[in-house]
Amino acid sequence: MTVPRQTTTQRRGLLLAAVRGGDSSIQALAEQFGVSPSTIRRDLTELAREGHVVRTYGGALDTGPSVERTLREKDASHAEEKNAVARAAAELVRDGEVVLLDSGTTTGRLAHHLADRPGLTVVTNGLTVLLALADSPEVDVIVLGGRLRHPNEAILGTTVEQQLRHIRPDRVFLGADGLTADRGLCAPTLEQAQLKHAMLHAGREAYVLVDHSKLGSAPFVYWAPMDREHTIVVDDGHPAALAPFESLPNCVLRAVTV
């Protein structure tokens, strides 16, 4: 199936998702995206330069799970599932509450659904959340100050954790690059794993927002243990992936239909 014509940035994000899905032929990719093979070659060369793929004769291969994807790439993956999870999470938030939103694509979508909620206070370390709420007169936005990290556009640093000590939000919503029943949340750096753990314990109620592809996934070596009561909000696209979490004593599953 040929996809509608995209901008170069959009096409490269979708192209990377296609390569990660097993498509590697330049000719097949050119037909799929409705562009010339030379355009696909340039796209793959740029993706290889950024470290996302390895160029091969006639195509490209995924570099593997340890390579961190950009926020644009993540946002293009499982978009419908993320939207469903974000909508369900927004329904949990009551007007006037103080909520803490982690950085990430699904939390950014959640922020979009909260933009017209009166009297809400949103605390965040995520640029996606900030941009989603920047034009909202209804929401009081508190940005945790620190260092902006690329490629996931998270604000990090000791100052972020220090500021968290002075806030007791009603609800905390965390994102994850992977989530396993035995280890918890997977993060690309030790600093982010530590911050997610601090966020987990910062509020009255804690939630993890993931699409089903994140369940059982461990792309990195850094972890935030889920050692308090929490709710996992996830789409129901892969029921078997939910099974390991159903027996966890401090975990509640909230599966939503896409």
CATH for 87: 3.40.50.1360
Q: Where do runs of H (alpha helix) occur along 115-183?
A: 127-133, 158-164
Task: Flag whether 208 is in a domain.
Answer: yes
d(CA 256, CA 211): 10
Indicate if 56 and 91 belong to the same structural domain. Answer: no
- Write down the pLDDT at residue 119: 94
**Distances in Å between the alpha carbon of 245 and those of 102, 145, 249, 258?**
21, 34, 9, 20
Q: How far apart are CA 254 and CA 207, in angstroms?
A: 10
Give the pLDDT confidence score for residue 68 in this predicted structure. 64
Tokens of 21: 């899905």
CATH number of the domain that 55 lies in? 1.10.10.10
Domain boundary among 19, 36, 64: 64
Task: Give the pLDDT score at 71.
Answer: 60
Please check whether residues 24 and 149 belong to one and the same domain: no
Shared domain for 181 and 137, answered yes or no, is: yes
Query: For the residues 163-175, what does the mean pLDDT come to?
Result: 96
Our count of domains for the chain comes to: 2
39 & 83 share domain = no
Query: In 63-113, at which residue ranges do the beta strands (DSSP E only) sit?
Result: 98-101
Residue 215 shares a structural domain with residue 100: yes
- Looking at the structure, tell me whether residues 174 and 238 fall in a common domain: yes
Residue 2 lies in a domain: no
Inform me whether the pLDDT recorded for 65 exceeds 70. no
Query: Is residue 172 within 8 Å of residue 207, measured between CB atoms?
Result: yes
Q: Which amino acid is at 75?
A: D
Q: What is the pLDDT, as a whole number, of residue 33?
A: 87
Same domain, 59 and 111: no
Q: Please say if the pLDDT value at position 67 is more than 60.
A: no
Coil, helix or strand for 61?
strand
Kind of pairing, strands 171-174 and 205-210? parallel
Q: Is the residue at 153 inside a domain?
A: yes
User: Are residues 201 and 100 part of one domain?
Assistant: yes
Distances (CA, A) of 35 to 2, 28, 52: 10, 10, 21
Q: Sorting pLDDT into bands at 50, 70 and 90, what band is 12?
A: confident
Q: What contacts 92, CB < 8 A, 6 or more positions away?
A: 171, 207, 233
- Domain membership of residue 91 (yes or no) is yes
Closest by CA to 216, choosing from 185, 188, 241, 250, is 241
pLDDT at residue 56 in the model: 64
Over residues 87-96, the mean pLDDT reads 96
222 and 103 share a domain? yes
Predicted structure pTM score: 0.74
The whole-number pLDDT of residue 153 equals 86
Residue 222 counted as domain residue: yes
Across the chain, the runs of DSSP E, i.e. the strands, are 53-56, 59-62, 98-101, 121-124, 140-143, 147-149, 154-156, 171-174, 178-180, 184-187, 205-210, 222-224, 230-235, 251-256
From the list 77, 110, 84, 80, the residue with the least C-alpha distance to 257 is 84
Beta bridge partners, 230, equal 251
Most confident by average pLDDT, 49-58, 89-98, 211-220: 89-98
Where do we find the tokens 């989530």? Answer: 179
- Token look-up 């009166």 returns 118
Rounded to an integer, the average pLDDT of 32-57 is 78
Q: Are 33 and 137 found together in one domain?
A: no
Q: Is the pLDDT higher at 43 or at 229?
A: 229
Give me the mean pLDDT over the 126-155 stretch.
92
Question: What domain range is 236 assigned to?
Answer: 73-256
Question: Which band of pLDDT confidence, cut at 50, 70 and 90, is reported for residue 16?
Answer: confident
Within-domain flag for 220: yes
* pLDDT of 55 higher than 80: no
Residue 115 shares a structural domain with residue 22: no
